[in-house]
C-alpha cells in the first residue's frame, strides 16, 4: 500500500482543501519573474504563480494551491516547527523479552519511517527559508530520526535531552529515562533571543506525566529561544497559545491536502 493510501486509511487526509504543489493547467506558471514574498527568480524548475488576492507572483515554495478558490495564495510560513511523530512502538516494550507484560499497542496510530519522512517533508515546506525544527525522538529511533532530518536538508545544531526522572525498564536491563529533542535548522541557524544567549542547558528535567506527553519545560525553552515568530506544532494533542497546531486528535489550524504529489507513494 502506498503512503497516500495508508494515510487515508489512518484518517490523516480527511480534509482536502489545500494542496502543496500545483495542478497542471489551472494557473499558468510565470517564468523569470521574481517571487513577491521571498525574492527568488522563478526558473522552469521553480515556477511562479500569481496570488489570487494581490495578483503578485509567488514561487512554488511560497504558494499553496487552494482548491476551494481554485487559485494560489501566499502560504503562512513558520520560523519554528516542532514535531513529535508517532514512532512505531508498543507500550511496555517487547512482549518476547517480557512475556508477562501485555505489549499493548499505543493509544494512537503509529507511522512507519517513510510516512513520517513524507509528512515532515511536506510540512518543512511551510518553514521560512531559515527555520528550525525541534524533532522529538527516542533512543530506538535516534539514528533514523537524524537520517530523516538530514535527507530533508536539516542540519543538527544540538541533541537536547529530556531527563524524565523515571522510566520504563526495558528487557530487564536499562531503565530508559530520557528522550531526545533534536534541535535542527535549515541553511542557517536563526538567531535566538539576545537575552537567552548561553542560558539554556541542553539537558532539561521534568517528571514524566501522561504517556507520550512532552514536558512543559520543552515548550518554554522553545518560546524563550524564539519568542516572536510563527510557530507550528505537528502531531499535537493540545492547542497552545500563540502556536498553530496539527494532529489527528485536535481541531487543526492547517490542513494538508490528500492530493499531495509524493515521490514515495506508489499511486
Ligand atoms: C507522540 S504523540 C504526540 C504527543 C504530544 N506531543 C503530547 O505532548 O501530548 C503522536 C501523535 O500523533 C498522532 N498521529 C498518529 N497518526 C497520525 C496521523 N496519521 N495524522 C496525524 N496525527 C497522527 C497520534 O494520534 C498522537 O496524537
Ligand atoms: Zn517565494
> pLDDT by residue (tens digit) across 184-214?
999 999 999 999 999 999 999 999 988 899 9
pLDDT at 265 over 50: no
pLDDT score of 46 = 65
Cβ of 88 less than 6 Å from ligand 1: no
The verdict on 90 and 220 lying in the same domain is yes
Q: Is the pTM of this model over 0.95?
A: no
Measured by CA distance, the residue closest to atom 9 of ligand 1 is 213
pLDDT computed for residue 98 by the predictor: 44
pLDDT of the residue at 117? 96
Q: How confident is the model at residue 91 (pLDDT cuts 50, 70, 90)?
A: low
Other beta carbons less than 10 A from residue 254's beta carbon: 18
Ligand 1 centroid from CA 57, angstroms: 36
Q: In terms of domains, do 68 and 118 share one? A: no
Is residue 214 within 8 Å of 204, Cβ to Cβ? no
Instruction: Give the ligand with the smallest distance to the CA of 48.
Output: 2
CA of 111 to the centre of ligand 1 (A): 9
Say how many Å lie between the CA of residue 79 and the centre of ligand 2.
Answer: 15
Contact between 198 and 223 under an 8 Å Cβ cutoff? The reply is no
The yes-or-no verdict on residue 5 having pLDDT over 70 is no
Query: Does residue 230 sit in the same domain as residue 102?
Result: yes
What's the domain range around 32? 21-74
Give the ligand 1 atom nearest the CA of 115: 19
92 lines ligand 1 (CB under 6 A): no
- Determine the pLDDT at residue 173: 80
Distance (Å) from CA 236 to ligand 1 centroid: 6
Q: Is pLDDT larger for residue 131 or for residue 41?
A: 131
In a domain, 173, yes or no: yes
Average pLDDT of the residues in 145-154: 98
Given a contact cutoff of 8 angstroms between Cβ atoms, the answer to whether 264 and 254 are in contact is no
Nearest residue (by CA) to ligand 1, atom 18, is 12
On average, the pLDDT of the chain sits at: 80
User: Tell me, what CATH number does 208's domain have?
Assistant: 3.40.50.150
109 lines ligand 1 (CB under 6 A): yes
- pLDDT, greater one: 71 or 136: 136
Kindly state the percentage of the chain with pLDDT values over 90.
50
- Do 96 and 207 share a domain, yes or no? yes
Q: Mean of the pLDDT values across residues 234-254? A: 93
CB-count burial class (<10 Å; 0-12, 13-18, 19+) for 115: buried
128 occurs within a structural domain: yes
- Is 133:112 a contact under the CB 8 Å cutoff? no
Amino acid at each position: 500500500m502506498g503512503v497516500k493510501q495508508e494515510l487515508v486509511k489512518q484518517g490523516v487526509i480527511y480534509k482536502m482543501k489545500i494542496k502543496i504543489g500545483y495542478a497542471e493547467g489551472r494557473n499558468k506558471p510565470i517564468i523569470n519573474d521574481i517571487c513577491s514574498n521571498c525574492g527568488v527568480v522563478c526558473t522552469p524548475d521553480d515556477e511562479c504563480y500569481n496570488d489570487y488576492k494581490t495578483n503578485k507572483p509567488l514561487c512554488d515554495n511560497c504558494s499553496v494551491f487552494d482548491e476551494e478558490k481554485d487559485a494560489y495564495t501566499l502560504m503562512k510560513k513558520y520560523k519554528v516547527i516542532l514535531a513529535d511523530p508517532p514512532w512505531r512502538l508498543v507500550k511496555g516494550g517487547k512482549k518476547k523479552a517480557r512475556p508477562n507484560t501485555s505489549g499493548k499497542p499505543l493509544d494512537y496510530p503509529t507511522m512507519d519511517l517513510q510516512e513520517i519522512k513524507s509528512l515532515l517533508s511536506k510540512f518543512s515546506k511551510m518553514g521560512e527559508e531559515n527555520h528550525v525544527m525541534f524533532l522529538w525522538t527516542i533512543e530506538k529511533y535516534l539514528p533514523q530520526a537524524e537520517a530523516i532530518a538530514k535527507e530533508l536538508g536539516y542540519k543538527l545544531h544540538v541533541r537536547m535531552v529530556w531527563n524524565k526522572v523515571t522510566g520504563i525498564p526495558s528487557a530487564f536491563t536499562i531503565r530508559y529515562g530520557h528522550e531526545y529533542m533534536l534541535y535542527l535548522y535549515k541553511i542557517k541557524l536563526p538567531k535566538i533571543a539576545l537575552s537567552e544567549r548561553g542560558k539554556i542547558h541542553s539537558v532539561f528535567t521534568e517528571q514524566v506525566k501522561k504517556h507520550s506527553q512532552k514536558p512543559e519545560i520543552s515548550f518554554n525553552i522553545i518560546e524563550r529561544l524564539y519568542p516572536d515568530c510563527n510557530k507550528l506544532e505537528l502531531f499535537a494533542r493540545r492547542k497552545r497559545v500563540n502556536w498553530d497546531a496539527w494532529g489527528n486528535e485536535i481541531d487543526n489550524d492547517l490542513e494538508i491536502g490528500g492530493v499531495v504529489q509524493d515521490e514515495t507513494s506508489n499511486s
